[in-house]
Amino acid sequence: MIGRVPRRGVAAYAGVVALVAAVPVVFPVSPYTHNLLTFAFLMIAGSLAWNWMGGFVGQVSFGHATMFGIGGFVAARLILSGALPAPLAWIAAGLVAGVVALGAHPMLRLRGPYFSIATIGVGEASRVIFTYWEGFTGGSSGLSLPIDPILKYQLYWWGLGLAGLVGGASWLLRRSTLGLQLLAIKADVEAAADVGVSATFYQDLIFCLSGAVVGLTGGLYASYFAYIEPSDLFGFDRSIGFVLMAVIGGLGTVFGPILGAVVFVLLRQNLLASYPELYLGLYGGLLIVIILFEPLGLTGLGLRLARRVRRAREGRRS
Amino acid sequence: MTNHSRVLFFIAAALGATTAPACKPKAAARAEKDAIVIGATLPLTGSEARIGGFFKEGYELAFEELNRKGGLDVGGKKVKVRLTLLDDTSTQTTAVSLADRLINSDGVDFLLGTYGTNVVEAQSTVAEQNSIPYVTGGGAATAIYKRGYKWIFGTLAPVELLGTTLMTWIAEQQAAGKLPKPAKIALVWENTSHGKDFRKGISDFAEKSGGAFQVVVDESFELNGKDFSPLLGKVKAAGADMFLADAHLPDYITMHRQYVAAGLCHKILSYGARGSEKAAIDALGQENVTYILSGVWWNSQLADKIPQSKLFADAYHAKYGAKNPEWFQALAYETARALFTAIEQAGSTDREAVRAKLASMKIPSLLPGGTLEFPAATGAQVQNPFVLQQNTPEGKAPIIYPKEIATGEGIAPDPRCAK
Amino acid sequence: MARFIDLAFSAILQAGLYATMAYGLGLIYGVLRVVNLAHGGVIMAGAYLGWVLFERWGIDPYLSIPIVLVASFVGGAAMYRLLVRHLPRGAAGGPASLLLLFGVWLVLRYAGYRLFTGDDRTIRTTYSTDAVSLFGSFLAVNRLAVLGIAVLVPVGLHLLLRRTYLGAAIRAVAQNPASCTIVGIDVERIYTITFGLGTALAGLAGLLAATIFSFNPGFGSGELLKSFVVVVLGGLGSIFGMALAALILAVVETFAILVLPSYLTAAVGFVMLVLVLVLRPGGLFGQRVLG
């Protein structure tokens, strides 16, 4: 670790998580909000994990839906066969997705746009293949899971736990030596190799972890909806969702993706019912504005505002 | 505070902000009970917006008509009905979330379904989980109804039945000597639940026909495909007598264009539920769609054959003018009417009571067959027959099957390809 | 044998379409080193422009080619000056350019939905289903036209690049932008023109696509990916390489139906993309500067 882990930071983080965990118990939250938050936690976990690859390492993947989908269907199959209880099925799903992510090893040599384009290819190819593979995914009809209201209610805390863990891991990762090594790779691969940071090894590691977490998230997603089908889980829109969430929140920041995921879910929910399709224009516009003016997205915006407030306060004092 | 802590605080506040408005206790939302609120989502924008709009017409017609009569007779009192309609843009996650909101936040009494098999399948799960009646005219795949759910009722007959109906008529033609025996079928279907069901209907019939029909090509294609030339080349090489396809409108147009340009011709040609749409005729040209067979759940020509259909058609024209209603509007209207009838029969808005009435329903209907019932054996999906149409050279599309409600004679084989 | 001829002709015609779609993407990447993710959106815009011109003013799609070319060029030049110009160059610009142009694509899609709704459209002319008979096969007239254009464009581009001053300037900028300023070439102006040319070609491809199949605002993602395959396969910036690559892609995809179920042939292009990137990122013809 770089420096000591700040006690206050950990306490604050744990405090926030505990607060959110207590909300459904303390307040009379409607099932709709309860479910919406659950879904938000899942998206938070997914976008945080995507950000490890896209933000920390700097390799933007447009094909993460592949791992998400594999995780979802593995979990669904395990649950349907009764072999494992849901939580274990999710973990198994994450493991399988992680192993599959290792298969991307040859692609990790590619830099920048080449890598991204390759991930699009993988994403689309897997969508077609998994839609065809009826034995695994049920084909275009998808898979239906048994209805379990208790599990769906508990998913709030499973999802929160997952999101909390992934968020904490992101933070630790950033502060660790490993995080520094990733930054080095992101900045200049050759120079990093010169100082002994093997790009291939670390990228494999992070891609595997990122894929595993996204696969795990897919498992919870399957339990949440109790019906999944390939074009939804493996679709290009799904991959794009991860990209958008991380970029809008702050590509490469530690907690930015959380913000991005929340905004993403809320926007779709509240805007869509009243101003449909606006979300396309909105996300597009946001992307453009963010890339041109504030690459750190909403986090960057927030930090700028905070700085201005601080400066104004200091100015007033003197 | 460190920067990270600041961000976290902001996030927590944002989450709190979303929780707060929806925190109103459910009791308050249900305080005013002067109307029965029925919730629904439809694809009002996005790729299925055209059809979503048609469904909306059907729903609104049913609601308006009922309210004009004073509303539903619930336990002696007349109560009006109100529709809360949201846009789900054909996205599963959105449809599910909106259904959740309608049930748990807006407190609707019942749900009407959306359009699109996968979206219906996903959304109906929410209804089942919340034990609320969900009546839909927008999802035809048998998979939706084979899950053992109690609260889902479908007014759309399975697409398998379309395939079976088509083959039944074709078999009649074969028996009359108008088609070769055995006849070879080139079967091509879009890789969706819809296509899979169609394929099952055709291939099951062929299997049971004792050799009268052989499927020589059996291939699926991706939705919104662009180049069908290799596939059509395969069909051409197989030398089939009949070309049976299941495709949505854009693929029908693209594929048929390439079919015509490739100089293909088959004695029997069908694109499943597509064939006589005006959009297709505009895109392909009248001369190119002649003799195409199609099967639909309802057609406006039924107004002359089924009394309920006439009532519907008249009401539709009164509200929307000279435009002819298609099966979308009719099914949406009928779905709403089924729900209304169940509520009235139950005499209350108790969900279990209404559900029971839906399960035991048997009423006259505008659907082919004339009756509406939700058989438990099929998971509460109606099994009303399809009507087959065929495009004539004069630009008409009469119903050619079933005999009792036919308005014209079907022609087989296509005189331009008989060889 | 007849089957083989059928497939061969299908492949050639399809190659024409792929090539036409890929030229614009390849040109922009070859000179600016920017991956134009809005390419699919521009194709869609070109299709709609052609449709509007046809539906509203009855202009035959082939006659509206100059209009669409000019409009797309202007649109592309504007896109460059307003947006792309501000992107950081080099490796750091990688994800940024991808994301920016993806954002532009989303906005284009939104505009498409707002202006035209999600309904599927086609351009239907009197010759939409006409075909020419050759060796027992039928070749659709529209597709032959696309093939013709696919052959003309590289020739035209080649002439532009080799015989004109502008072309020399473009080639110079593609090779070494820094030195160009020294010799008095306005690099930004060249970039603007090239970007405009790239989008003009994309718009043209969209117009031609509209004569062949039906489309809606969501159209373009599949075409974008196939264009990637062609550009990567053909090697960096080689126009004739792209034409050949389009042919290879089309042949593999088309003949795949002999060994694969028809549905899976849709995955062939994507698998090829990944394989080429992993095995020979320089393309089948190696890294070559524009020309």
**Among candidates B317, B324, B298, B296, which has minimal Cα distance to B309?**
B298
Task: Kindly indicate the confidence band of residue B261, based on its pLDDT and cuts at 50, 70 and 90.
Answer: confident
The b/e string for C2-15 (b: 16+ C-beta within 10 A; e otherwise) is eeeebbebbbbbbb
Q: What is the pLDDT of residues B97-126, one digit of tens each?
A: 999 999 998 999 999 999 999 999 999 999
More confident residue, B19 or B59: B59
Contact A275/B at CB under 8 A: no
Average confidence (pLDDT) over A211-219: 96
H/E element, A202: helix A199-225
Are the beta carbons of B96 and B122 closer than 8 angstroms?
yes
C93 confidence band (pLDDT: 50, 70, 90): low
Name the band, by pLDDT with cuts 50, 70 and 90, for residue B24: very low
Name beta bridge partners: C131: C140
Tell me which of B227, B231, B259, B281 to substitute to probe the interface with C (most C C-beta atoms closer than 10 Å): B227
Give me the pLDDT at residue B291, please.
92
Question: Does B32 score more than 50 pLDDT?
Answer: no
What pLDDT sits at residue A318?
Answer: 57
The mean pLDDT of C166-195, rounded to a whole number, is: 88
- SS3 label, residue A52: helix
Cβ <8 Å between B237 and C118:
no
H-helix or E-strand containing A181? helix A177-187
Count the Cβ atoms, other than its own, within 10 Å of residue B371. 14
Question: For residue range A73-84, what is the model confidence (pLDDT) as tens digits?
Answer: 999 999 999 889
The DSSP code for C89 is: P
How many contacts (CB atoms, under 8 Å) link B and C? 113
C104 — pLDDT class (breaks 50, 70, 90): very high
Predicted-complex ipTM score: 0.85
d(CA B313, CA B329): 10
What DSSP state is assigned to residue C71?
A: H
pLDDT at residue number B29? 42
Type and span of the H or E element at C254: helix C239-255
Decide if A149 touches C, using CB distance below 8 A. Answer: no
Residues of C numbered 114-133 whose beta carbons fall under 8 angstroms of chain B's beta carbons: which are they?
117-120, 122, 124, 128-131, 133
- Which chains contact C through at least 3 pairs of Cβ atoms less than 8 Å apart? A, B
Residue C226, amino acid? K
Selected residues 6-25 of chain A with any CB under 8 Å from a CB in chain B = 6, 8-9, 12-13, 16, 19-20, 23
Closest approach of C272 to chain B, Cα-based (Å) = 18
Residue C157's SS3 state is helix
List the 47-86 stretch of A: residues with Cβ below 8 A of B: none
CA distance B68 to B52: 24
> How high is the pLDDT of residue C184?
83
Which range among A280-284, B1-5, B46-50, B209-213 shows the weakest confidence by mean pLDDT? B1-5
Helix (H) or strand (E) holding A223: helix A199-225
Most confident of A17-26, B383-392, C79-88, C220-229: B383-392
Residues A29/B15, Cβ–Cβ less than 8 Å: no
Mean pLDDT for B275-290 is 86
What pLDDT score was predicted for residue B225? 78
Percent of chain B with pLDDT over 70: 92
Among A179-193, C80-94, C258-272, name the one with the lowest average pLDDT.
C80-94
pLDDT single digits (tens) B201-247: 999 999 999 889 999 999 999 888 788 888 998 999 899 999 999 99
**Residue B153 pLDDT > 90:** yes
Q: Which of B178, B265, B171 is nearest to B211 (CA)?
A: B171
In this predicted model, which residue has the larger pLDDT, B294 or B278?
A: B294
How far apart, in whole angstroms, are the C-alpha atoms of residue B80 and residue B64? 10
For residue B229, what is the nearest residue in chain C, using CA coordinates? C10
> What is the mean pLDDT of the segment spanning B163-179?
92
Tokens of C224: 């974008």
Closest to A147 (Cβ–Cβ): which among B23, B104, B125?
Answer: B125
pLDDT reading at C289 higher than 60: no
* DSSP H helical ranges for C213-238: 221-234
Reply yes or no on whether the pLDDT at C291 is more than 50.
Answer: no
Please enumerate in sequence order all residues whose Cβ is within 8 A of that of C59, keeping only pairs 6 or more positions apart, or say none. Answer: C53, C67
Entry pTM: 0.89
Long-range pairs for C82-91: beta carbons < 8 A, 24 or more residues apart: C83/A288, C83/A292, C84/C32, C84/C34, C84/C195, C85/C188, C85/C191, C85/C192, C86/A292, C87/A291, C87/C34, C89/C33, C91/A111, C91/A112, C91/A188
Q: How confident is the model at residue B8 (pLDDT cuts 50, 70, 90)?
A: low
What is residue A83's predicted lDDT score, i.e. its pLDDT?
86
| Beta carbons of C6 and B236 less than 8 Å apart | yes
Arithmetic mean of pLDDT over chain B: 88
| A97-107 pLDDT per residue, tens | 999 999 989 88
Q: Using the predicted structure, report yes or no on whether residue A110 has a pLDDT greater than 90.
A: no
Across B143-157, B403-417, C152-166, which has the greatest mean pLDDT?
B143-157
**SS3 for A24?**
helix
Q: Are A243 and A54 in contact (CB under 8 A)?
A: yes
Report which DSSP code applies to A13. H
Q: At B75, is the pLDDT very low, low, confident or very high (cuts 50, 70, 90)? A: confident
What is d(CA A75, CA C119) in angstroms, rounded to the nearest whole number? 37
Gap between the Cα atoms of A52 and A257, Å rounded:
10
- Greater confidence (C258 vs B154) lies with B154
**Averaged pLDDT, C129-139:** 83
Q: How confident is the model at residue B284 (pLDDT cuts 50, 70, 90)?
A: confident
Chain C interface mutation, best of B190, B257, B265, highest count of C Cβ atoms under 10 Å: B257
Secondary structure of chain B as H, E, C letters: CCHHHHHHHHHHHHHHHHHHHHHCCHHHHCCCCCEEEEEEEECCCCCCHHHHHHHHHHHHHHHHHHHHCCCEEECCEEEEEEEEEEECCCCHHHHHHHHHHHHHCCCCCEEECCCCHHHHHHHHHHHHHCCCCEEECCCCCHHHHCCCCCCEEECCCCHHHHHHHHHHHHHHHHHCCCCCCCEEEEEEEECCHHHHHHHHHHHHHHHHCCCCEEEEEEEEECCCCCCCHHHHHHHHHHCCCEEEEECCHHHHHHHHHHHHHCCCCCCEEEECCECCCHHHHHHHCHHHHCCCEEEECCCHHHHHCCHHHHHHHHHHHHHHCCCCCCHHHHHHHHHHHHHHHHHHHHCCCCHHHHHHHHHCCCEECCCCCCEECCCHHHCCECCCCCEEEECCCCCCCCEEECHHHCCCCCCCCCCCCCC
Q: How much is the average pLDDT of B328-340?
A: 95
Q: Is B20's pLDDT higher than 50?
A: no
Which of A219-223, B60-64, B104-108, C281-285 comes out lowest in average pLDDT?
Answer: C281-285
Sheet containing B35-42: give its strands across. Answer: B72-74, B77-87, B35-42, B110-112, B134-136, B152-154
Segment 31-90 of chain B within 8 Å of chain C by CB: 45-50
pLDDT digits (tens, 9 = 90+) for C225-272: 889 889 888 876 678 888 899 999 999 999 998 898 888 888 898 898
C228 close contact with A: CB closer than 8 A? yes
Mutate to test the interface with C, among A117, A247, A271 (most CBs of C within 10 A): A117
SS3 label, residue A227? strand
> What does the block give as tokens for B408?
């014209």
Q: Name the residue among C7, C118, C209 with its Cβ closest to that of B230.
A: C7
Predicted local distance difference test score (pLDDT) of residue B1: 40
User: C214 and chain B: CB distance < 8 Å anywhere?
Assistant: yes
Residue C218 contacts A where some CB pair is shorter than 8 Å: no
Picking from B45, B103, B193, the nearest residue to A141 by CB comes out as B193
Q: How far is B197 from chain C (nearest CA, A)?
A: 17
- Which of B137-141, B202-206, C214-218 is predicted least confidently? C214-218
Q: Which tokens sit at B337? A: 């009417």
**Residue-level pLDDT at C135:** 81
Dump pLDDT digits (tens) for A118-148. Answer: 898 899 999 999 999 999 998 888 999 998 8
CA separation for the pair C126, C158 (Å, rounded): 34
Q: What is the pLDDT of residue B28?
A: 39
Q: What is the mean pLDDT of chain A?
A: 88
Predicted local confidence at residue B90, as pLDDT: 85
pLDDT at B26 over 50: no
Q: What is the mean pLDDT of residues C171-180?
A: 85
| pLDDT, position A48 | 96
Alpha-carbon span C69 to C204, nearest angstrom: 6
Helices and strands in chain C: count of H runs, count of E runs: 11, 2
Cross-chain CB nearest to C266 (options B222, B236, B253)? B222
CB distance A277–B45 less than 8 Å? yes
Contact call for residues B196 and A131 (beta carbons, < 8 A): no
Higher pLDDT, A315 or A85: A85
Look at residue B23 and tell me whether its pLDDT is greater than 50: no
Q: Is A285 on the interface with C (CB under 8 A)?
A: yes
| Chain A residues 232-271 with CB within 8 Å of chain B | 232, 253-256, 258-259, 262-263, 266, 268-269
Write down the pLDDT at residue A280.
Answer: 75
Across the strands, what pairs with B16? none
Neighbours of A91 (CB within 10 A): 17
pLDDT > 80? residue A276: no
Question: Would you call A81 exposed, middle or buried from its count of C-beta atoms within 10 A (0-12, 13-18, 19+)?
Answer: exposed
C80 and chain A in contact, CB less than 8 A: no
Residues B125, A152: contact at Cβ < 8 Å?
no
Q: Which of C52, C46, C58, C73 is nearest to C208 (CA)?
A: C46
Q: How many Å apart are CA B63 and CA B316, to the nearest integer?
A: 12
The mean pLDDT value for C41-62 works out to 93
Residue C216 to residue B227, Cβ atoms within 8 A: no
